Amino acid sequence: MDKLLIEGGARLSGEVAISGAKNAALPILCAALLTAEPVTFTNVPQLKDIGTLLALLGQMGVKVERAGDTVTLYASGLNNPVAPYEMVKTMRASILVLGPLVARCGEARVSLPGGCAIGARPVDQHIKGLQAMGAEVRVEHGYVHATVPRLKGARLFTDMVTVTGTENLMMAAALADGETVIENAAREPEVVDLANCLVAMGAQISGAGSDVIRIRGVDRLHGATHRIMPDRIETGTYLCAAAVTGGSVCLTGTSSCYLDAVIDKLMDAGCEVVSERDAISLSAPARLNAVSLRTAPYPAFPTDMQAQFMAINCVANGVAMIRETIFENRFMHAVELQRLGADIRIDGNTAVVQGVARLEGATVMATDLRASASLVVAGLVAEGETTIERIYHLDRGYERLEDKLAALGAKVRRLT
Protein backbone atom coordinates (compact mmCIF):
# COMPACT_ATOMS: atom_id res chain seq x y z
CA MET A 1 0.00 0.00 0.00
CA ASP A 2 1.40 3.40 -1.00
CA LYS A 3 2.61 5.96 1.51
CA LEU A 4 3.58 9.61 1.23
CA LEU A 5 6.88 10.81 2.71
CA ILE A 6 7.18 14.54 3.38
CA GLU A 7 10.24 16.37 4.65
CA GLY A 8 8.88 19.53 6.21
CA GLY A 9 10.28 23.02 6.23
CA ALA A 10 10.28 23.93 2.53
CA ARG A 11 8.59 27.21 1.62
CA LEU A 12 6.20 26.70 -1.28
CA SER A 13 6.56 29.03 -4.25
CA GLY A 14 5.79 28.98 -7.95
CA GLU A 15 2.84 28.16 -10.17
CA VAL A 16 0.63 25.09 -10.50
CA ALA A 17 -2.50 24.26 -12.51
CA ILE A 18 -5.70 23.18 -10.76
CA SER A 19 -7.58 20.13 -12.06
CA GLY A 20 -11.24 19.70 -12.83
CA ALA A 21 -13.57 19.24 -9.87
CA LYS A 22 -14.18 15.67 -8.71
CA ASN A 23 -17.45 16.65 -7.05
CA ALA A 24 -18.68 18.16 -10.31
CA ALA A 25 -17.34 15.47 -12.62
CA LEU A 26 -19.00 12.53 -10.85
CA PRO A 27 -22.64 13.65 -11.25
CA ILE A 28 -21.97 15.08 -14.72
CA LEU A 29 -20.57 11.75 -15.93
CA CYS A 30 -23.73 10.09 -14.60
CA ALA A 31 -25.81 12.54 -16.67
CA ALA A 32 -24.61 10.71 -19.80
CA LEU A 33 -26.99 7.89 -18.81
CA LEU A 34 -29.90 10.18 -19.72
CA THR A 35 -29.27 10.10 -23.50
CA ALA A 36 -28.50 7.56 -26.21
CA GLU A 37 -26.29 10.11 -27.99
CA PRO A 38 -22.57 10.57 -27.26
CA VAL A 39 -21.62 13.14 -24.62
CA THR A 40 -18.08 14.53 -24.34
CA PHE A 41 -16.60 15.99 -21.16
CA THR A 42 -13.32 17.91 -20.90
CA ASN A 43 -11.19 18.88 -17.88
CA VAL A 44 -12.04 15.54 -16.24
CA PRO A 45 -9.54 14.83 -13.43
CA GLN A 46 -7.65 11.55 -13.43
CA LEU A 47 -8.66 10.23 -10.02
CA LYS A 48 -9.45 6.89 -8.46
CA ASP A 49 -13.12 7.80 -7.97
CA ILE A 50 -13.44 8.83 -11.62
CA GLY A 51 -11.96 5.52 -12.74
CA THR A 52 -14.33 3.62 -10.45
CA LEU A 53 -17.36 5.44 -11.85
CA LEU A 54 -16.29 4.92 -15.47
CA ALA A 55 -15.85 1.20 -14.79
CA LEU A 56 -19.31 1.16 -13.21
CA LEU A 57 -20.85 2.85 -16.26
CA GLY A 58 -18.99 0.44 -18.52
CA GLN A 59 -20.51 -2.61 -16.88
CA MET A 60 -23.95 -1.07 -17.44
CA GLY A 61 -23.35 -1.14 -21.19
CA VAL A 62 -21.99 2.39 -21.64
CA LYS A 63 -19.10 2.71 -24.09
CA VAL A 64 -16.28 4.72 -22.52
CA GLU A 65 -13.54 6.53 -24.45
CA ARG A 66 -10.86 8.38 -22.50
CA ALA A 67 -7.92 10.44 -23.75
CA GLY A 68 -6.12 12.59 -21.21
CA ASP A 69 -8.65 14.84 -19.51
CA THR A 70 -11.35 14.18 -22.16
CA VAL A 71 -14.00 11.50 -21.68
CA THR A 72 -16.69 10.56 -24.22
CA LEU A 73 -19.58 8.35 -23.11
CA TYR A 74 -21.99 6.48 -25.41
CA ALA A 75 -24.99 5.18 -23.46
CA SER A 76 -26.95 3.93 -26.48
CA GLY A 77 -26.12 0.36 -25.41
CA LEU A 78 -27.27 0.83 -21.80
CA ASN A 79 -28.66 -2.60 -20.89
CA ASN A 80 -27.82 -3.31 -17.27
CA PRO A 81 -29.25 -0.69 -14.85
CA VAL A 82 -27.48 -2.23 -11.86
CA ALA A 83 -24.74 -0.79 -9.63
CA PRO A 84 -23.31 -3.79 -7.72
CA TYR A 85 -21.89 -3.54 -4.22
CA GLU A 86 -18.42 -4.73 -5.18
CA MET A 87 -18.02 -1.78 -7.55
CA VAL A 88 -19.49 0.99 -5.40
CA LYS A 89 -18.49 0.05 -1.87
CA THR A 90 -15.63 2.57 -1.82
CA MET A 91 -17.49 5.49 -3.39
CA ARG A 92 -20.58 7.15 -1.98
CA ALA A 93 -21.15 9.14 -5.17
CA SER A 94 -22.26 5.93 -6.88
CA ILE A 95 -25.78 6.69 -5.67
CA LEU A 96 -25.83 9.36 -8.42
CA VAL A 97 -26.64 6.73 -11.05
CA LEU A 98 -30.01 6.09 -9.38
CA GLY A 99 -31.94 9.08 -10.71
CA PRO A 100 -30.69 8.91 -14.33
CA LEU A 101 -31.27 5.14 -14.55
CA VAL A 102 -34.85 5.36 -13.27
CA ALA A 103 -35.59 8.27 -15.61
CA ARG A 104 -34.11 6.62 -18.72
CA CYS A 105 -34.75 2.90 -18.12
CA GLY A 106 -37.74 2.95 -15.77
CA GLU A 107 -35.77 0.76 -13.38
CA ALA A 108 -32.59 0.79 -11.30
CA ARG A 109 -30.97 -1.47 -8.73
CA VAL A 110 -28.22 0.39 -6.88
CA SER A 111 -26.19 -0.80 -3.91
CA LEU A 112 -26.27 1.38 -0.84
CA PRO A 113 -22.98 3.28 -1.14
CA GLY A 114 -19.78 3.32 0.88
CA GLY A 115 -17.02 5.94 0.91
CA CYS A 116 -15.34 7.93 3.67
CA ALA A 117 -16.34 7.14 7.27
CA ILE A 118 -17.07 10.74 8.22
CA GLY A 119 -20.64 10.31 9.41
CA ALA A 120 -24.16 9.44 8.34
CA ARG A 121 -25.06 10.56 4.83
CA PRO A 122 -28.40 8.85 4.34
CA VAL A 123 -29.99 8.34 0.92
CA ASP A 124 -33.54 8.69 2.26
CA GLN A 125 -33.93 12.12 0.62
CA HIS A 126 -33.15 10.57 -2.77
CA ILE A 127 -35.70 7.83 -2.18
CA LYS A 128 -38.38 10.17 -0.87
CA GLY A 129 -38.02 12.39 -3.93
CA LEU A 130 -38.28 9.52 -6.41
CA GLN A 131 -41.34 8.19 -4.60
CA ALA A 132 -42.99 11.60 -4.84
CA MET A 133 -42.34 11.43 -8.60
CA GLY A 134 -44.22 8.13 -8.81
CA ALA A 135 -41.49 5.54 -8.47
CA GLU A 136 -41.94 2.40 -6.41
CA VAL A 137 -38.82 2.13 -4.28
CA ARG A 138 -37.76 -0.73 -2.04
CA VAL A 139 -34.59 -1.19 -0.01
CA GLU A 140 -33.77 -4.88 0.20
CA HIS A 141 -30.60 -6.91 0.71
CA GLY A 142 -28.48 -3.74 0.75
CA TYR A 143 -29.83 -2.42 -2.57
CA VAL A 144 -32.18 0.38 -3.56
CA HIS A 145 -34.57 -1.02 -6.18
CA ALA A 146 -36.72 1.53 -8.01
CA THR A 147 -39.22 1.01 -10.82
CA VAL A 148 -41.65 3.29 -12.66
CA PRO A 149 -43.24 3.44 -16.16
CA ARG A 150 -42.30 7.15 -16.35
CA LEU A 151 -41.51 9.63 -13.63
CA LYS A 152 -43.96 12.49 -13.14
CA GLY A 153 -43.14 16.03 -12.11
CA ALA A 154 -43.73 16.84 -8.46
CA ARG A 155 -43.04 19.41 -5.77
CA LEU A 156 -40.12 18.11 -3.71
CA PHE A 157 -38.94 19.44 -0.37
CA THR A 158 -35.79 17.92 1.13
CA ASP A 159 -35.68 17.72 4.93
CA MET A 160 -32.00 18.68 4.82
CA VAL A 161 -29.77 20.37 2.28
CA THR A 162 -28.21 17.52 0.30
CA VAL A 163 -25.91 18.05 -2.68
CA THR A 164 -26.12 14.55 -4.14
CA GLY A 165 -29.85 14.43 -3.39
CA THR A 166 -30.42 17.66 -5.31
CA GLU A 167 -28.28 16.38 -8.20
CA ASN A 168 -29.98 12.99 -8.34
CA LEU A 169 -33.48 14.44 -8.34
CA MET A 170 -32.56 17.14 -10.86
CA MET A 171 -31.29 14.48 -13.30
CA ALA A 172 -34.36 12.32 -12.74
CA ALA A 173 -36.69 15.28 -13.30
CA ALA A 174 -35.02 16.16 -16.62
CA LEU A 175 -36.93 13.31 -18.33
CA ALA A 176 -40.03 13.33 -16.11
CA ASP A 177 -43.51 14.18 -17.37
CA GLY A 178 -44.32 17.75 -16.29
CA GLU A 179 -42.61 20.21 -13.97
CA THR A 180 -40.61 19.35 -10.88
CA VAL A 181 -39.79 21.92 -8.21
CA ILE A 182 -36.98 21.12 -5.76
CA GLU A 183 -37.22 23.25 -2.61
CA ASN A 184 -34.43 23.55 -0.03
CA ALA A 185 -32.10 22.63 -2.89
CA ALA A 186 -28.33 22.66 -2.49
CA ARG A 187 -26.72 25.82 -3.90
CA GLU A 188 -23.19 24.50 -4.45
CA PRO A 189 -21.33 25.49 -7.65
CA GLU A 190 -21.14 21.79 -8.57
CA VAL A 191 -24.96 21.70 -8.71
CA VAL A 192 -24.88 24.69 -11.06
CA ASP A 193 -22.24 22.97 -13.23
CA LEU A 194 -24.46 19.88 -13.53
CA ALA A 195 -27.46 22.05 -14.42
CA ASN A 196 -25.41 23.79 -17.13
CA CYS A 197 -24.43 20.41 -18.57
CA LEU A 198 -28.04 19.19 -18.55
CA VAL A 199 -29.21 22.40 -20.27
CA ALA A 200 -26.55 21.84 -22.95
CA MET A 201 -28.10 18.39 -23.43
CA GLY A 202 -31.56 19.92 -23.93
CA ALA A 203 -32.96 20.00 -20.38
CA GLN A 204 -35.14 22.89 -19.21
CA ILE A 205 -33.83 24.01 -15.80
CA SER A 206 -34.01 27.32 -13.97
CA GLY A 207 -32.98 28.42 -10.49
CA ALA A 208 -29.77 26.36 -10.12
CA GLY A 209 -27.61 28.09 -7.53
CA SER A 210 -30.66 29.10 -5.48
CA ASP A 211 -32.66 27.06 -2.98
CA VAL A 212 -35.52 26.51 -5.45
CA ILE A 213 -34.81 24.70 -8.74
CA ARG A 214 -37.45 24.21 -11.42
CA ILE A 215 -37.15 21.49 -14.04
CA ARG A 216 -39.57 21.10 -16.96
CA GLY A 217 -39.22 17.50 -18.13
CA VAL A 218 -38.56 16.77 -21.81
CA ASP A 219 -39.11 13.61 -23.87
CA ARG A 220 -35.43 13.14 -24.68
CA LEU A 221 -32.00 14.65 -24.19
CA HIS A 222 -29.29 14.86 -26.83
CA GLY A 223 -25.51 14.76 -26.94
CA ALA A 224 -23.35 17.72 -25.95
CA THR A 225 -19.84 18.80 -24.99
CA HIS A 226 -19.22 20.21 -21.51
CA ARG A 227 -16.11 21.38 -19.64
CA ILE A 228 -15.92 20.45 -15.95
CA MET A 229 -15.47 23.39 -13.56
CA PRO A 230 -12.18 23.77 -11.62
CA ASP A 231 -11.90 22.01 -8.27
CA ARG A 232 -12.50 24.60 -5.57
CA ILE A 233 -11.45 22.19 -2.78
CA GLU A 234 -8.16 21.35 -4.49
CA THR A 235 -7.68 25.09 -4.94
CA GLY A 236 -8.33 25.74 -1.25
CA THR A 237 -6.02 22.92 -0.21
CA TYR A 238 -3.05 24.32 -2.16
CA LEU A 239 -3.77 27.80 -0.81
CA CYS A 240 -3.59 26.34 2.72
CA ALA A 241 -0.38 24.46 1.88
CA ALA A 242 1.24 27.68 0.68
CA ALA A 243 -0.09 29.65 3.64
CA VAL A 244 1.20 27.27 6.31
CA THR A 245 4.72 27.33 4.82
CA GLY A 246 4.84 31.13 4.52
CA GLY A 247 4.87 30.67 0.78
CA SER A 248 3.92 32.58 -2.36
CA VAL A 249 2.07 30.71 -5.12
CA CYS A 250 -0.07 31.26 -8.19
CA LEU A 251 -2.80 28.71 -8.94
CA THR A 252 -3.98 28.72 -12.56
CA GLY A 253 -7.10 27.34 -14.22
CA THR A 254 -9.25 28.18 -11.23
CA SER A 255 -11.45 30.96 -9.89
CA SER A 256 -12.00 32.69 -6.57
CA CYS A 257 -15.74 33.13 -7.25
CA TYR A 258 -16.43 29.71 -5.67
CA LEU A 259 -14.20 30.32 -2.65
CA ASP A 260 -15.27 33.56 -0.99
CA ALA A 261 -15.59 32.05 2.51
CA VAL A 262 -12.21 30.29 2.27
CA ILE A 263 -10.35 33.32 0.91
CA ASP A 264 -11.88 35.56 3.59
CA LYS A 265 -10.47 33.25 6.27
CA LEU A 266 -7.03 33.14 4.63
CA MET A 267 -6.97 36.93 4.57
CA ASP A 268 -8.02 36.99 8.24
CA ALA A 269 -5.04 34.70 8.89
CA GLY A 270 -2.73 37.35 7.43
CA CYS A 271 -2.38 36.24 3.80
CA GLU A 272 -2.48 38.53 0.79
CA VAL A 273 -4.74 37.06 -1.91
CA VAL A 274 -5.07 38.44 -5.46
CA SER A 275 -7.81 37.06 -7.71
CA GLU A 276 -7.71 37.19 -11.49
CA ARG A 277 -10.20 35.86 -14.03
CA ASP A 278 -8.72 32.35 -14.09
CA ALA A 279 -6.00 32.41 -11.43
CA ILE A 280 -5.44 33.07 -7.74
CA SER A 281 -2.18 34.26 -6.15
CA LEU A 282 -1.38 34.04 -2.44
CA SER A 283 1.48 35.42 -0.36
CA ALA A 284 1.68 34.40 3.29
CA PRO A 285 3.47 35.88 6.33
CA ALA A 286 6.09 33.93 8.26
CA ARG A 287 3.42 32.89 10.77
CA LEU A 288 -0.34 32.97 10.42
CA ASN A 289 -2.97 34.24 12.83
CA ALA A 290 -5.47 31.70 14.18
CA VAL A 291 -8.90 31.83 12.52
CA SER A 292 -12.14 30.42 13.94
CA LEU A 293 -14.76 29.00 11.60
CA ARG A 294 -18.09 27.22 11.37
CA THR A 295 -18.93 24.87 8.50
CA ALA A 296 -22.32 25.13 6.81
CA PRO A 297 -23.84 24.55 3.35
CA TYR A 298 -22.69 26.77 0.48
CA PRO A 299 -22.08 29.69 0.30
CA ALA A 300 -20.82 29.40 3.90
CA PHE A 301 -17.51 27.78 4.85
CA PRO A 302 -17.24 24.31 3.24
CA THR A 303 -16.93 21.21 5.40
CA ASP A 304 -14.41 19.88 2.84
CA MET A 305 -11.96 22.63 3.90
CA GLN A 306 -12.37 22.26 7.66
CA ALA A 307 -9.55 19.74 8.12
CA GLN A 308 -7.04 21.82 6.13
CA PHE A 309 -7.78 24.90 8.25
CA MET A 310 -7.41 22.85 11.42
CA ALA A 311 -3.91 21.98 10.19
CA ILE A 312 -2.87 25.60 9.59
CA ASN A 313 -4.36 26.65 12.94
CA CYS A 314 -2.08 24.11 14.63
CA VAL A 315 0.92 26.40 14.04
CA ALA A 316 -0.83 29.79 13.99
CA ASN A 317 -0.65 32.56 16.58
CA GLY A 318 -3.53 32.28 19.04
CA VAL A 319 -6.51 30.01 19.62
CA ALA A 320 -9.12 28.95 17.05
CA MET A 321 -12.53 27.39 17.54
CA ILE A 322 -13.76 25.15 14.74
CA ARG A 323 -17.38 24.06 14.70
CA GLU A 324 -18.43 21.26 12.34
CA THR A 325 -22.17 21.27 11.56
CA ILE A 326 -22.34 18.99 8.50
CA PHE A 327 -20.84 15.61 9.49
CA GLU A 328 -20.69 14.27 13.02
CA ASN A 329 -17.47 12.24 12.61
CA ARG A 330 -15.32 14.77 10.81
CA PHE A 331 -12.69 15.38 13.51
CA MET A 332 -10.91 12.04 13.11
CA HIS A 333 -7.86 13.83 11.71
CA ALA A 334 -7.42 15.66 15.04
CA VAL A 335 -5.92 12.57 16.69
CA GLU A 336 -3.41 12.20 13.87
CA LEU A 337 -2.50 15.90 14.04
CA GLN A 338 -1.90 15.44 17.77
CA ARG A 339 0.71 12.81 16.87
CA LEU A 340 2.60 15.63 15.15
CA GLY A 341 2.44 17.73 18.32
CA ALA A 342 -0.75 19.72 17.75
CA ASP A 343 -2.70 21.06 20.76
CA ILE A 344 -6.33 20.21 19.94
CA ARG A 345 -9.27 19.61 22.28
CA ILE A 346 -12.53 18.13 21.00
CA ASP A 347 -15.89 18.79 22.64
CA GLY A 348 -18.72 17.32 20.61
CA ASN A 349 -18.85 19.11 17.27
CA THR A 350 -16.38 21.81 18.35
CA ALA A 351 -12.58 21.69 18.23
CA VAL A 352 -10.38 24.16 20.12
CA VAL A 353 -6.96 24.53 18.52
CA GLN A 354 -4.12 26.27 20.39
CA GLY A 355 -1.30 27.15 18.03
CA VAL A 356 2.11 25.72 18.91
CA ALA A 357 5.58 26.93 17.96
CA ARG A 358 6.33 23.85 15.86
CA LEU A 359 5.10 20.44 14.78
CA GLU A 360 7.35 17.39 14.63
CA GLY A 361 7.30 14.77 11.90
CA ALA A 362 5.81 11.35 12.70
CA THR A 363 3.95 8.48 11.05
CA VAL A 364 0.24 9.24 10.70
CA MET A 365 -2.72 7.52 9.07
CA ALA A 366 -5.29 9.03 6.73
CA THR A 367 -8.88 8.34 7.79
CA ASP A 368 -10.77 10.02 4.93
CA LEU A 369 -10.14 12.14 1.84
CA ARG A 370 -9.97 15.62 3.36
CA ALA A 371 -8.32 14.35 6.55
CA SER A 372 -5.55 13.10 4.28
CA ALA A 373 -5.13 16.61 2.90
CA SER A 374 -4.87 18.07 6.40
CA LEU A 375 -2.03 15.69 7.21
CA VAL A 376 -0.21 16.75 4.04
CA VAL A 377 -0.61 20.43 4.99
CA ALA A 378 0.69 19.74 8.50
CA GLY A 379 3.53 17.57 7.20
CA LEU A 380 4.78 20.39 4.97
CA VAL A 381 5.52 22.55 8.03
CA ALA A 382 6.49 19.85 10.56
CA GLU A 383 10.16 19.45 11.44
CA GLY A 384 11.70 16.28 10.08
CA GLU A 385 9.92 13.56 8.12
CA THR A 386 6.21 12.80 8.15
CA THR A 387 4.95 9.55 6.70
CA ILE A 388 1.27 9.41 5.73
CA GLU A 389 -0.20 5.93 5.42
CA ARG A 390 -3.39 4.83 3.60
CA ILE A 391 -3.08 7.56 0.98
CA TYR A 392 -5.52 5.77 -1.30
CA HIS A 393 -7.93 8.31 0.20
CA LEU A 394 -5.83 11.10 -1.33
CA ASP A 395 -5.85 9.41 -4.72
CA ARG A 396 -9.64 9.54 -4.68
CA GLY A 397 -9.68 13.34 -4.75
CA TYR A 398 -6.28 14.88 -5.63
CA GLU A 399 -4.71 14.44 -9.05
CA ARG A 400 -0.90 14.02 -9.04
CA LEU A 401 -0.64 15.59 -5.58
CA GLU A 402 3.03 14.80 -5.01
CA ASP A 403 3.99 16.07 -8.49
CA LYS A 404 2.15 19.38 -8.02
CA LEU A 405 3.61 19.92 -4.55
CA ALA A 406 7.09 19.09 -5.79
CA ALA A 407 6.67 21.67 -8.57
CA LEU A 408 6.10 24.24 -5.82
CA GLY A 409 9.27 23.21 -3.99
CA ALA A 410 7.94 20.70 -1.47
CA LYS A 411 10.10 17.72 -0.54
CA VAL A 412 7.57 14.96 -1.02
CA ARG A 413 7.65 11.52 -2.58
CA ARG A 414 5.45 8.46 -2.85
CA LEU A 415 6.64 5.19 -1.34
CA THR A 416 5.26 2.08 -3.03
Residue closest to 297 by CA, chosen among 188, 151, 134, 415: 188
pLDDT tens sequence across 70-80: 999 999 999 99
pLDDT tens sequence across 210-265: 999 999 999 999 999 999 999 999 999 999 999 999 999 999 999 999 999 999 99
- The neighbouring-strand residues paired with 364 are 388
Answer yes or no: is pLDDT of 117 > 50: no
Stretch 355-367: mean pLDDT, rounded?
A: 95
- The neighbouring-strand residues paired with 214 are 181, 206
Distance separating alpha carbons of residues 192 and 160, to the nearest angstrom = 18
Which residues have a Cβ under 8 Å from the Cβ of 383 and sit 6 or more positions away?
8, 9, 358, 359, 360, 361
* pTM of the complete model: 0.95
Task: State residue 401's pLDDT score.
Answer: 96
With residues binned 3-state (H G I as helix, E B as strand, rest as coil), the percentages for the chain, rounded to 5, are 35, 30, 35
**Contact yes or no for 389/364 (Cβ under 8 A):** yes
Band (pLDDT 50/70/90 cuts) for residue 114 is low
**Contact yes or no for 98/126 (Cβ under 8 A):** yes
Q: Considering the candidates 30, 105, 116, 271, report the single residue annotated as catalytic.
A: 116
- The neighbouring-strand residues paired with 323 are 294, 350
- Strands 385-389 and 3-7, bridge-based pairing: antiparallel
Stretch 311-339: mean pLDDT, rounded?
A: 92
Instruction: Please indicate whether residue 116 is annotated as part of the active site.
Output: yes
**Beta strand extents in 245-337 (DSSP E only):** 248-252, 272-275, 279-283, 293-294, 319-323
Task: State residue 92's pLDDT score.
Answer: 78
